[in-house]
Structure 1
Amino acid sequence: MHFATPSAHDLQAMTDATTAPALRTLPSVMIPGLACSPRLFAPQLSTLWQFGPVTIANTLQHNRIADMAKAILDQAPAQFVLLGLSMGGYIALEIMRQAPERVIGLCIMNSSARADTAESQKNRQRLMALAVEGRLQLATEMNFPRSVHPAHRHDKDLLATVLAMAKETGVASYIQQQEAILHRIDSLPWLAAITCPTLIMVGDQDQLTPLPLAQELSQGIAGSKLRILANCGHLSTLEQAEQVNRALQQWLSKLQTA
């Protein structure tokens, strides 16, 4: 029986394969926004899963951002990649205050470092009043046009997903989350302390947290990358899932080999 003798090229390839550094596992913790369930991140799960275990944080139990952050940290891996959208971004910034050493990389989507404005507070209180009256669906429908790109305002499937998430999270949690957002602190003074690799994403027509707020985040966090998503409003993970997934794939691939 004849056995082929490996060539020098084959031997070198085998040596390279055995000596190449192993890619590190990147567990992810994803924090959804106001009245959002795990459905918010459903299009991203297959992308993130390639890099490590994925956890979608529970934000239904508390009415303060700091308490939400602590509860998430209590359940999170020792080290992890942190991703938050909208309210999830506010919580992510609080986690960076409480335990920055545990965060391998930070991704903030459609969010802001600022405290709530007086105008936003009035709007939240109006929506909370509707929810208290048992009209959470109406509150959600009223807020929907401002939450998406103008081209998506008549997207029945997208609206159905948003309404389903609101129903899943429920009235009590909606009110608690709105209270947490109302009372959030100004995180701008803390941005300079963030040193982990950071990706900021924003829709080009996000009306709730527009581009200047994303630019402010990016400018405040040294070395961060800003990705502007085309034809996108506030719900980027659902509106432009492919763009979000490409950005995450590229960012996590670099992070994995860093």
Structure 2
Amino acid sequence: MALLLVPGFMADETLWNDMSAALARFGPVLHADLRHDTSVEAMARRALAAAPPSFLLVGFSMGGYVARDIARLAPAYGKRVKALVLVATSTRPDTPAMRQRKGAVGHAAPSVAFSGLSRIAVASSLHPKDKHNEAMIERVRAMGMRLGGEVFRRQSVLERPGDIDRLGEIRCPTLVVAAAQDQLRSLEEARELQAGIPEASLAVIEDSGHMIPIEAPQRLLEVILPWLSSYAD
């Protein structure tokens, strides 16, 4: 068995650094590459093409959209996804305001230097108690700097289509994980995922903002390790 991790917007494999040793119990830990593609489906197809014959799947935030497409595509390849964990994500499409912001980024001159995600934007994704946590803010910003401006522009204009009418196509066991203090994705959005995916479970992590793998890695492990263990054989 292997474990495929799908990161969020402008996040790389270091998103999972505080969890990777514990997750290695399930076999090789692999990371989906979201740097190159301009649609959620293309990202999912790239990840699935590089994945092993069977695997456990964890998607975070934007990666949750990609992970759901992987799960929907995988049955055509022999039901390869044994279990799915969706962390701090949503089934909703982009709002008009989000589409407007993406349009502004898309029309920006390619020559404009990328200086990383702003501290204000990163702080808004964290629990209020961590909005001045410079180490945590810089860790998130560093991921974006490593990925660079081209990836930022590509991921910024990526459309996140709503898939509430397609959640029933996901047939693998699914756990939805939400953060109680997430200012980007609400508990209502997590409950929509749980309600739409057949027999999905929901776990809520207290005292964490959106960046659960960085803000509350041990509590996230406490939730997903026993659950994944049930499907790792």
Mapping of residues 67-78 of structure 1, within 5 Å: 67-78=42-53
Q: How many residues align?
A: 229
Say whether the 8 Å CA contact 2:82–2:232 is kept in structure 1.
no
Q: CA deviation at 1:127?
A: 5.8
Cα–Cα, structure 1 residues 115 and 124, in superposed 2: closer, same or farther, change >3 Å?
A: same
Structure 2 residue 89 is the aligned partner of structure 1 residue 114: no
From 8, 12, 15, give the equivalent of 1:37.
12
Q: CA deviation at 1:148?
A: 0.8
Taking the aligned partners of 1:205 and 1:123, their CA distance within structure 2 comes to: 24
Give SS of 1:199's match.
strand
From 167, 173, 189, give the equivalent of 1:191.
167
Taking the aligned partners of 1:241 and 1:125, their CA distance within structure 2 comes to: 34
TM-score by length of 2: 0.92
Q: CA deviation at 1:85?
A: 0.4
Say whether the 8 Å CA contact 1:140–1:166 is kept in structure 2.
no
**Alignment match, 1:88:** 63
Taking the aligned partners of 1:90 and 1:156, their CA distance within structure 2 comes to: 29
Q: CA deviation at 1:242?
A: 0.8
Cα–Cα, structure 1 residues 112 and 63, in superposed 2: closer, same or farther, change >3 Å?
A: same
AA paired with 2:194? S
Taking the aligned partners of 1:32 and 1:130, their CA distance within structure 2 comes to: 25
Say whether the 8 Å CA contact 2:183–2:209 is kept in structure 1.
yes
Taking the aligned partners of 1:164 and 1:199, their CA distance within structure 2 comes to: 29
Q: CA deviation at 1:122?
A: 2.8
Taking the aligned partners of 1:51 and 1:29, their CA distance within structure 2 comes to: 10
Taking the aligned partners of 2:64 and 2:221, their CA distance within structure 1 comes to: 18
Taking the aligned partners of 2:201 and 2:108, their CA distance within structure 1 comes to: 38
Q: CA deviation at 1:150?
A: 0.6
**Alignment match, 2:120:** 142
Taking the aligned partners of 1:237 and 1:129, their CA distance within structure 2 comes to: 32
Say whether the 8 Å CA contact 2:35–2:147 is kept in structure 1.
yes
Structure 2 residue 204 is the aligned partner of structure 1 residue 228: yes
Say whether the 8 Å CA contact 1:204–1:228 is kept in structure 2.
yes
Say whether the 8 Å CA contact 1:93–1:187 is kept in structure 2.
no
AA paired with 1:136? S
Cα–Cα, structure 1 residues 156 and 27, in superposed 2: closer, same or farther, change >3 Å?
A: same
TM-score by length of 1: 0.83
Structure 2 residue 48 is the aligned partner of structure 1 residue 79: no
Task: Give the root-mean-square deviation of aligned CA atoms.
Answer: 1.7
**Alignment match, 1:19:** none
Q: Percent identity?
A: 30
Q: CA deviation at 1:214?
A: 0.5
Say whether the 8 Å CA contact 2:122–2:141 is kept in structure 1.
no
Taking the aligned partners of 1:131 and 1:31, their CA distance within structure 2 comes to: 29
Structure 2 gaps of 5+ residues are none
The C-alpha deviation readout for 1:183-232, integer Å capped at 9, x for no partner, is 23221111112121111111111111111101100111121111111111
Mapping of residues 163-178 of structure 1, within 5 Å: 163-178=141-156
**Alignment match, 1:162:** 140
Cα–Cα, structure 1 residues 131 and 164, in superposed 2: closer, same or farther, change >3 Å?
A: farther
Larger radius of gyration: 1
Give SS of 2:27's match.
coil
Give SS of 2:42's match.
helix
Taking the aligned partners of 1:189 and 1:96, their CA distance within structure 2 comes to: 15
Structure number having the greater helix percentage: 1
Say whether the 8 Å CA contact 2:18–2:214 is kept in structure 1.
yes
Structure 1 gaps of 5+ residues are 1-25
